[in-house]
Amino acid sequence: MDHTFPEIKKYFGFGCMRLPMKDGEVDLDQMIQMTDLFLQNGFNYFDTAHGYLDGKSELALRDALTSRHKREDYILTDKLTDPYFHSEEDIRPFFENQLKWCGVDYFDFYLMHAQGAVNYEKFKRCRAYETAFELKKEGKIRHVGISFHDKAEVLDRILTDYPEIEIVQIQFNYLDYDDSSVESRKVYEVARKHHKPMLVMEPVKGGSLVNLPEEAQKIYDDLNHKNGTPHSNASYAIRFAAGFDGIRVVLSGMSTLAQMQDNIAYMKDFKPLSEAEQAAVRGVTKVFDSLEMIPCTACHYCVEENHCPKQIRIPDMFACFNKKKVFHDWNMDYYYGNVLTMEDHSKASDCIGCGGCERVCPQHLKIRELLKDVAGEFEKSAER
């Protein structure tokens, strides 16, 4: 089976989970500029899912990309996501709607979304994989793959059960490389063992590898000064991931034109990290290992589809907690009390412990316990 996928250009893809927003809607003018610039510089891989931005991501791609550019000029990936089907009979109608929402007749890649030990059983029970393989035979899907969020042993089981899987999307970044909960390195090694090319998501870990603690930032600043060529923090993270054998595309969830321009600057003519840059990455990793941060990537799965009946802004609260703990940003007390918990949104202490958030968390975070930490940090100060 041919896994080279030569039609995908370069190593870099446009992840459409975190698009530019304006007044609660996708900023279409900026999205069009970003899309056109991406294509003009020789890139062509776009990634979406129906859950991204509550369905707005697919529609934005239709308006900015598929209705304005020739079908052969871009590669489009969409996904089958757990909440949107409950039986085998639900899958085809949902898939056909996705084609309409995106404005295409076929998907280049169609992935079984966020596969892990729990939802994999549902996908098997509903014959989701078999349905995707049938859609491939009908020409509505060119390549079938999975996006994966679990331990390496679970990926090994899936790829053994379904050797027809053509590609695997994994969470892969230098902070998670040897992390015992994410197991990026071990997951990568399993995919290599099964001879599957890989797509990379979360290369900057939801922005954690862009906005660095002061000690970590100094490492990159010193390196940039020594080299005489400034590189962004994101460039080190994305180039780290792209430098591994078998990595076909590294996705970046860009939300501004400036981010797109920065990423294009160092990925247009991609060069792997030098030995000095690799040493700097190891240094930054050591700084993070010494901190007590909540490793949330702000994917927002925990708060979509009513997974949190109390409407607690979980990712925002975790980011708020990290900023106060790591960056000593005391403005976070005001932000927690006057922004995150206003209107219809609950406090961290309002968690009823239902566990809906934890069942869908790709990072397998103990969210209920972490919300207690958040409440202890912010609500105690509010009571003083």
Residue 4 has a pLDDT of 53
Flag residues of the chain having pLDDT under 70. Answer: 1-6, 327-329, 381-384
For the whole model, what pTM was predicted? 0.84
Residue 9 has a pLDDT of 85
The sign one gets for the Cα dihedral 217, 220, 226, 230 is negative
Tokens of 58: 């697919």
Taking the C-alpha atoms of residue 226 and residue 220, their distance in angstroms, rounded to an integer, is 10
Amino acid type, 144 = V
DSSP state of 228: T
Residue 2 has a pLDDT of 45
Judge contact between 287 and 216, C-beta under 8 A.
yes
Tokens 């980011």 locate to 319
Residue 345 has a pLDDT of 77
Taking the C-alpha atoms of residue 26 and residue 32, their distance in angstroms, rounded to an integer, is 11
Tokens of 114: 């966020």
Taking the C-alpha atoms of residue 260 and residue 252, their distance in angstroms, rounded to an integer, is 9
Judge contact between 330 and 350, C-beta under 8 A.
no
Residue 209 has a pLDDT of 93
